Amino acid sequence: MAETFIIGLDYGSESARGVLINTASGQQIASHTHAYRHGIMTQALPGGSPLPRGWALQNAADYIEAATEILSQLGDGREIEGIGLGFTASSPMPTTANGTPLSQLFAEDPHAYVKLWKHGAAQKYADDINAHGGSYLKNFGGKVSGEWLLAKAVQIAKEAPGTWDATDRFIESGDWLVWQLSGVESRSLGFAAYKAQYSEADGYPKDVLDGLEDRLSLPHPVGTCAGYLTDDWRLRTGIKGKAAIAVSVIDSHVVLPAVGAVDDGCLVGALGTSAAYLLLSEGFHPLPTGIEGVAYNGSMRDLWCYESGQASFGDMLAWFIKNFPRAATIDESFRLYNTEAAALVPGENRLVALDWWNGNRVPLADSRLSGIIMGLSMDTTAVGIYRALMESLCFGARSIVDLFEAGKIAVNRMLMTSGLAQNNPLLVQIMSDVMNRPIDVPEIANPTAVGAAIHGAVAGGVVSSYEEGAARFGAKSYAHFVPDENNVAIYETLYQLYREMSQSVRARASMHILSEMPAAEHHSTVTSQVQ
């Protein structure tokens, strides 16, 4: 019997990555990365037309080029059982009824292109939606983001009504790529629920924009087989076999089965520049105040998945290193600070910080808030401050876990992924001490692409469940951190001080005043004269 494989595709902001996994051994055989030809377009269209400030577009043709390259490299001549993909979200595009991107027809129209997740120019339409918001906002804390599909649809309709008229389908790029690969428009419940506020009970929101629902289509739970790789793509890539195509998944969610997060109570934190937390739950609980969103069947099958996060995380430590370097390189400064911070005992720095360097995302959703360091003295050291920043990030994470628990949503296991979880064991140890819980850090290469491959395995029937997929293709080992009981009580005390700072209405009012200070218009002068 011939060897068979699954492929996972991870479409990120700058490039796409694919992995090839042997279905029998579960081993990653190969991976391949392809950068998008046009990258993220913020200044101009491919033809040179300039873009307004705040725009961020992509070219759908780049996705096809990447898929052709990656699938050929990994799949040529191989028996592929299933293909899954994770994709940035919300990154929607307008197409014709047969899926032709409008950018292919109207190359000089900026509204014809993919509006990448970070496209910020639709925020005012989100504000309008929120001002008149309906019951479809109840699972999203009463508001949509300007990064989401609804606001981007309204932006096209208001700013380019002709383009909107020419739009038969308004579709997430991940769903569009599945359509291209399989020949079937089969949307993902993940994109629909989290980014277009679809629910199985009520469908898409009715009153946001006339004609919007006609341009969408009903979505399917994750793991659904959208169809099979088309003959055209088989010719183009040399792929053989069944090649079932799974519906697409939001990139930050697709990692879950790869790290073993497939059941009730799993909390997965992605500790990157910012931090994102996903919590899986079998039962539904109303969204706790401040938690950002929840949907069913959009991340893992038969589970609710709650979304939350911290606006600052690794970027706060990078801010410190950049402003207060200790060595010629960033890496060496990080190394020195981490080594010395690890030699401090909790509480020894006699500091407590509030981690709002980018404002607060959960629970206040207020970008005008800012950070605090308290306890500064002549004995305070740079490394003491650095450690206080790390600790404050962990306090911020704990305050999110506290919100979940206050909402009766159990957290049974904690998994931390991404750069800082991999590279900064001190940070994870502090988080374990602050949480007073064990934390697992999965040891696996290309976890996002592997997660996508597991979705492909489920869609292709290679495995009968995500649990089986996780066991066969996911992380095989974990770095295991356990709380140090000497530290738990001290961090409990410090966390209460953090809570007080974070709950001070007066401090927030002061931060608002600081955020509204006039920008520099003139330069102050020192006026001194001898009498």
Q: Is residue 471 near its own copies by the rule CB under 8 A?
A: no
Q: Is residue 479 near its own copies by the rule CB under 8 A?
A: yes
Q: Is residue 44 near its own copies by the rule CB under 8 A?
A: no
Q: Is residue 531 near its own copies by the rule CB under 8 A?
A: yes
Among 375, 402, 413, 465, the residue binding its own copies under the rule CB under 8 A is 375
Q: Is residue 98 near its own copies by the rule CB under 8 A?
A: no
Backbone Cα Rg of the chain = 24
Q: Is residue 105 near its own copies by the rule CB under 8 A?
A: no
Q: Is residue 428 near its own copies by the rule CB under 8 A?
A: yes
Among 31, 429, 446, 502, the residue binding its own copies under the rule CB under 8 A is 429
Among 348, 412, 419, 492, the residue binding its own copies under the rule CB under 8 A is 348
Going by the DSSP 8-state scheme, the letter that residue 188 receives in this structure is E
Q: Is residue 507 near its own copies by the rule CB under 8 A?
A: yes
Q: Contacts with its own copies: how many residues (CB under 8 A)? A: 76
Cβ-Cβ contacts under 8 Å for 12 (sequence gap 6 or more): 88, 251, 448
Nearest to 280 by CA among 403, 412, 172, 368: 412
Q: Is residue 330 near its own copies by the rule CB under 8 A?
A: no
Among 24, 29, 218, 345, the residue binding its own copies under the rule CB under 8 A is 345
Stretch that binds its own copies, among 123-131, 264-272, 344-352, 450-458 (CB under 8 A): 344-352
| Residue (37 or 512) nearer to its own copies, CB | 512
Query: Which helix H or strand E contains 388, and what residues bound it?
Result: helix 382-406
| Residue (146 or 371) nearer to its own copies, CB | 371
| Residue (72 or 380) nearer to its own copies, CB | 380
| Residue (231 or 516) nearer to its own copies, CB | 516
Q: Is residue 120 near its own copies by the rule CB under 8 A?
A: no
Among 426, 436, 465, 488, the residue binding its own copies under the rule CB under 8 A is 426
Residue 422 and residue 416: Cα distance in Å, rounded? 8
Name the minimum Å distance from CB 477 to its own copies: 5
Residue 225 and residue 247: Cα distance in Å, rounded? 6
> CA quadruple 173, 174, 179, 181: dihedral positive or negative?
positive
Distances, alpha carbon 105 to alpha carbons 50, 96, 108, 174, in Å: 19, 10, 9, 20
| Residue (231 or 521) nearer to its own copies, CB | 521
- Planar angle of CA 170, 172, 176, nearest 5 degrees: 90
> CA quadruple 62, 63, 68, 72: dihedral positive or negative?
positive
Q: Give residue 358's identity as a one-letter amino acid code.
A: N
Nearest to 223 by CA among 466, 414, 429, 424: 466
Residue 136 and residue 274: Cα distance in Å, rounded? 27
Among 15, 130, 422, 510, the residue binding its own copies under the rule CB under 8 A is 510
How would you classify the pairing of strands 92-95 and 169-172? antiparallel
Q: Is residue 364 near its own copies by the rule CB under 8 A?
A: no
| Residue (234 or 368) nearer to its own copies, CB | 368
Q: Is residue 513 near its own copies by the rule CB under 8 A?
A: yes
Nearest to 445 by CA among 33, 123, 61: 33
Q: Is residue 272 near its own copies by the rule CB under 8 A?
A: no
Residues 503 and 359: beta-carbon distance below 8 Å: no
Name the minimum Å distance from CB 312 to its own copies: 7
Residue 230 and residue 134: Cα distance in Å, rounded? 40
